[in-house]
Amino acid sequence: MATGHPSPAPRSPRSPFWASVMARKPLSQVLPHEVEGAPSLARVLGRWELTALGIGAIIGAGIFAATGSAIAGGANHLGAGPGIVLSFVVTAIACAFAALCYAELAAMVPVAGSAYTYSYVALGELVAWIIGWDLVLEYAVGNIAVAISWSGYFVELLRTFGVVVPAWLETDVRTALIAVAERTAGSTDPHVLLSASAWDDAPRLLGVPIIFNLPAFLVVGVVTIALLFGVRSVARSTGALVIGKILIVLFFIAVGAAYFRPENLTAHGGFFPNGWAGVSTAAALVFFAYIGFDAVSTAAEEAKDPGRTLPFGIIMSLVICTVLYMLVAVMLVGMAPWDRLGTAEPMVTALEYAGGSPQVIAVLQVIVAFGAVLAMTTVLVAFQLGQPRIFFSMARDGLLPAWAAWVHPKYRTPWVTTILTGVVVATVAGFANINEVIELTNIGTLFAFALVAAGVLVLRRTDPDRPRPFRLWGAPWTPLLAIGSCLYLMLQLPLITWIRFLIWLAIGVVIYFVYGRRHRRLATGAAVSG
C-alpha cells in the first residue's frame, strides 16, 4: 500500500574491491586453542609476575637516550627543560589508555604478530598491512635509535679507559652537519665541538668526508648473528641483564640525589623554558621510553584470572616506570643545565656537569655507561628479535614474499628476514641522527596504537558475544581517549616527521597493492567478516 513517501533505497552491496582489501581474518583461523585437541598454555602468571614483565619490557633505551633530546630539544623540536617531569606524566596517561585496549585484544587474539594480527581480525587486511608496515618503524627504526645510543654510551665507556674512538667513526653525517652549523653560530658545548670535529678530521673520498657510526653498526651485526643461531641462549643471557638495567636506573637516581643542585631547575630559562609547547613536544618524544608495555598484554593466555591480573600488571608497571622516569628526569636537570643534555648519552653527560671530585665522577661515569650498555643490549635483542617475526607473520598470510617466512632447518629461526633486518638496521644506524629516528619511530608507533584502540570499538560492535578474558573498563570512552591521546602526541611532532611518515605509508600502500593483495592467502566470500 502506497504511503505517499518513496521507499528508501536499498543499501548498496560492498564492492568486490572494498570487500577484498577489508577482508577480516576470522578468529577461528588465528586462535590455536580453538583447534580441537590443541593444548592450551598454562595460566601461571599472577599480578606481580605480569608487573615485573612489564617493567622489564618498558625500561630500555628510551630513558637512556630519548630523555636527553626531549629535555634539550633538537634541530626540529623544542625541549621541555625541567618540565620534562610533566611530559612523562602526559605520556604515561596516553599509554595507559592504549595499553588497556591492547589488553582486551591480546586476551582475545593471543598469537604471534602483535598489533598486526589484532588488526587483521578487527579492522581488515589493508589496515592490518598498514599496522604491520608501521611496526617496522617501532621495531627496526626504533632499534636504529637504540644502536646509536648504545654507541654513545659505549664510546664514553671506552674513553674512561683511555681508548679514544676517532670522532668520524662515532658520529653520523647528520649530527656532524648540525654540529658544524651550531659551532658556526657560536656554540661552545663540548659535545657539539666534538661532533663538528668529525667533519673536519674525517678522511675524504673524492672530496666527501667519510663519517660513519662504526660501534652502532657493529653491535647490530653481533646481535643479528647471535639471533641467527637461535633465541634460547640469547634469552637466557638477557634475563639477568633485565635486572641489571633496573638496578642501574636506581643507582643513577641515588647518584643524582647526591649531586643535585636545585638552582638548575629554575636557571637557564625557568622550569618551563618553552612553555606547554615544549612539554607537549617532549611528551611525544619520551613516548619512546614507554614502547614495550604491550609485552604484558601478550601474556594474556598465560595470566591467572586475566580479567583482574592483566589490568593490574599493565597499570602497575606503567605507574612504577613513570615514577622511576620522573626521578631520573629530575636528577638529570638537577645535575646539569638542561640545554646541555641533548646527547645520545644524557646520563653520562649529566655527570660531566655534576661537579665534585673528577676521580669520583669518572668512576660513576664508568658504572653508568657500563650499565647503560648492558641495558640497551637487551633492547637491541628484543627489537631485533621482534621485527623478523612480524615479517614472518605477514609472509605467512601471503602479504610478503614466501622467502620472508623461510625457517632455518637447523636453528629454526626466520633466517632470511633476520639477516635482512640486521643489514638494514646496522647500515642506517651508521648514518642516522638519533633525534630524527626517535621522532619517526614514535609517530609510527602512536599511529599503530590508535588503530589498535579503534579495533576494540569495531570488535565490540561486530562481535559483541565473543568471550573476553579481559573486558576493557569504560568502553567506548577508554578506546576513544586512547585514539585522541595518541593523535594529540602525534600532532606535537615536527612537520618534517609527518612528511617522512606519510612517505613511508605511501610506500607501504604501493607494496600492498603491487604484491600483497595479489598474493594474499585469506579468501573472500565466506572468510570475509563484516
pLDDT at position 343? 81
pLDDT at position 114? 65
pLDDT at position 530? 35
CATH number of the domain enclosing 245 = 1.20.1740.10
Q: 383 in the Ramachandran plot: left (φ > 0), alpha (ψ -120 to 50) or beta?
A: alpha
Which H or E run contains 205? strand 204-205
Q: Domain limits at 107?
A: 41-172+212-464+474-523
Give a yes or no: residue 203 inside a domain. Answer: no
Helices assigned H by DSSP within 161-305: 173-184, 190-201, 214-228, 232-258, 275-286, 294-297
Alpha carbon distances (Å) from 155 to 146, 162, 362: 14, 10, 14
Helices assigned H by DSSP within 39-83: 47-58, 61, 67-72
pLDDT at position 527? 36
- Phi, psi of 509, rounded to the nearest 5 degrees: -65, -40
Apex CA 197: angle with CA 192 and CA 202, to 5°? Answer: 140
Give a yes or no: residue 104 inside a domain. Answer: yes
Separation between Cα atoms, residue 356 and residue 365, nearest integer Å: 13
pLDDT at position 333? 93
Nearest CA-CA partner of 47 in 315, 290, 231: 315
Separation between Cα atoms, residue 410 and residue 229, nearest integer Å: 9
Which H or E run contains 208? strand 208-209
Give a yes or no: residue 18 inside a domain. Answer: no
Residues 166/201, Cβ–Cβ less than 8 Å: yes
Give a yes or no: residue 190 inside a domain. Answer: no
pLDDT at position 236? 57
**For the segment 76-91, what is each residue's pLDDT rounded down to a tens digit?**
778 899 999 999 999 9
Give a yes or no: residue 227 inside a domain. Answer: yes
Give a yes or no: residue 13 inside a domain. Answer: no
Give a yes or no: residue 207 inside a domain. Answer: no
Number of domains in the chain: 1
* Low-confidence spans in the chain with pLDDT less than 70: 1-15, 17, 27-43, 75, 107, 109-114, 230-241, 295, 297-302, 469, 523-530
Give a yes or no: residue 206 inside a domain. Answer: no
**For the segment 459-500, what is each residue's pLDDT rounded down to a tens digit?**
888 777 777 767 777 778 999 999 999 999 999 888 999 999
Residue reference for cell 611530559: 87
Give the contacts of 462 (CB within 8 A, at least 6 positions apart): 122, 529, 530
